[in-house]
Amino acid sequence: MASTTAIAALTLHCFSKSNTLSPFRTLPRLTCSFSSSIKFNISFAPPNPKPKPNPKPTPEPQTDAPNEPDGPLLIPWIVRGEDGNLRLQSEPPPSFLKAMATAQTGTKKDKNQTKTTATSKAQKPRATAPPQHSKAARRFYNENIRSSSAARLSKVLAASGVASRRSCEELIFEGKVTVNGSVCNTPQTRVDPAKDVIYVNGNRLPKRQPKKVYLALNKPKGYICSSGENESKSVISLFDDYLKNWSKKHAGVPLPRLFTVGRLDVATTGLIIVTNDGDFAQKLSHPSSNLAKEYIATVDGLVHKRHLIAISEGTTIDGVHCVPDVVELLPRQPDMQRARLRIVVHEGRKHEVRELVKNAGLEIHSLKRVRIGGFRLPPDLG
């Protein structure tokens, strides 16, 4: 039989400076059991539960976990005071409480707001007053930078009326052009007639360039589109009276060198543009512009449906199959006995309209061009 011995609970006391006894801690009851195998089973008795209004079954106490002491657990805080000395206190410092409150109320939101504010301030344009320049600085800019008209030498010579651009290049290659006292053999040399001294065959080129001129001409029959001086029936010869009165209207400005934009054959009449602007002529006549050209063809004989179909199917010119954009039979006018066809093309090849009509089995009596792109021949132009 195993014998059991109960050991009474002990109370430990400590003496204070005033020689008074004060309880420090109470140990729970210890129970020891002895058996024949000499094993000890030590357990701590739980404290007496306090009475509750609605008692609930309490779980069995755990033998491994010690009981907590009575009363709240106080954590001392070591804080440095205003005098610089460390001291103990039972409450956390205000700085710690403030930091905890800030962390709980959303520190991330404040950071985002700070970033947003910083970004908005960075993106906000800074208001600056417009720069103020002196009158002399503006004059220097306008005379030396803004109004600079430097261009290729061959282009400047052609625009000044010396000759065509190809003829001007030949003059440059032959050494008949000098720039600032030196012979220039390169047509691509950039010059400014207002600043550079240019001589051609011993004659100085005027400083001022002629104004840009754009003229619409109703070309009569029998004139050729050539700018040769020996051609008496040239289209340019029709502007002799206009050029004679040039000096009266434009004093001190050299005569413009006029040329035609594209060509019309001798027998064709109608709209042709005359100018001295090479860039404008290049844009207007280049195939990449794809400008439509409208013609009125007066034909001999009767026009049937098969003729219109044959013209609309196109024909081959210089190895290229050309098809018109529009083919239309115009209503017959009472004062005209011949039929009229309205033909619109965009290729602009040589004798294209005449070849289209001829391929259809018709013969052209007269041909007149009335439109080039957005430029139309005025009906009242003689």
Positions marked active-site: 265
- Report in angstroms the alpha-carbon separations of 364 from 201, 229, 317, 357, 372: 48, 31, 18, 7, 21
CA distance readout (Å), 148 to 155, 192, 193, 253, 285: 15, 7, 10, 18, 28
If you count DSSP H runs as helices and E runs as strands, how many of each does the chain have, helices first?
A: 10, 23
**Rounded-to-integer distance, Cα 298 and Cα 221, Å:** 14
Number of residues that this document lists for the chain = 382
Question: In this structure, what token pair is assigned to residue 111?
Answer: 């950071």
Backbone angles phi, psi at 339, to 5 degrees: -80, 150
Rounded to a whole number, what is the distance in angstroms from the first to the last CA of the chain? 150
Q: Which of 86, 89, 44 is nearest to 67 (CA)?
A: 44
Q: Are strands 30-33 and 43-44 parallel, antiparallel or unpaired?
A: antiparallel
User: Which tokens in the block code for residue 173?
Assistant: 């290659």
- Pair 53, 21: CB distance under 8 Å: no
Q: How far apart are CA 142 and CA 289, in angstroms?
A: 34
